[in-house]
Amino acid sequence: MSDQLPAWVAHELAGARVARLGTTSEDGGIRMVPICFALVGQHLVSAVDHKPKRVGQLRRLDDMVARGGATVLIDHYDDHDWTALWWIRVRGRAEVLSSDSTDAFTALDALCAKYPQYAQQRPGGPVYRIALDELRWWRYDDPASPTKAPDAISTD
């Protein structure tokens, strides 16, 4: 898929430091939380880390298991320069990985390579991934993504 993406999308997708994860609850409500993430192949990966949580079992993980999908928004906002604005939205199949799987170890290695905090203290919680099934994006100064409608690539 990355060979189909504009260079700026691939660059920002790989380098952005934070995103917002959205899942759908049992009653149709939307849960959103900020996440750290990395790319591994055709997946965006993340993990539950050591930062304090309100509850032990996270509902976002329950949502992924129950509904099998998630959406992630990665963006840049600049209050002083709106010509620097951009966003990328990933929607795809989501799964919580088995803690002893090769895929979980690979995901954790990618997260540790991207974030020094994770290299110092490797996440010990569940690891999950979201397939890059559909990507949409917009950037102020990209003629291929006009302000009226974003571009999209779907692998479905």
- The answer, yes or no, to whether residue 155 has pLDDT greater than 70, is no
Kindly tell me the sign of the dihedral angle through the C-alpha atoms of 3, 5, 8, 12.
negative
Residues in the chain: 156
- The answer, yes or no, to whether residue 152 has pLDDT greater than 90, is no
Residue ranges making up the domain that contains 106: 2-140
CA distance 50 to 27: 29
CA distance 104 to 44: 12
Token pair listed for 7: 């260079």
Identify whether 151 is part of a domain: no
For residue 59, what pLDDT is reported?
Answer: 87
Rounded average pLDDT over 55-75:
88
> What SS3 class is residue 14?
helix
Identify whether 108 is part of a domain: yes
For residue 148, what pLDDT is reported?
Answer: 38
% of the chain surpassing 70 pLDDT: 83
Read off the DSSP letter of residue 71.
E
Identify whether 84 is part of a domain: yes
Note whether 93 and 69 are within 8 A (CB): yes
73-108 residue pLDDT tens:
999 999 999 889 999 999 999 999 999 999 999 999
Note whether 45 and 38 are within 8 A (CB): yes
The number of folded domains in the chain is 1
Averaged pLDDT of the chain:
88
> What CATH number is given to the structural domain containing 109?
2.30.110.10
CA 106 to chain centroid: 16
The backbone torsions φ and ψ at residue 12, rounded to the nearest 5 degrees and listed phi first, read -70, -35
For residue 49, what pLDDT is reported?
Answer: 78
- The answer, yes or no, to whether residue 30 has pLDDT greater than 80, is yes
Rounded average pLDDT over 130-150:
76
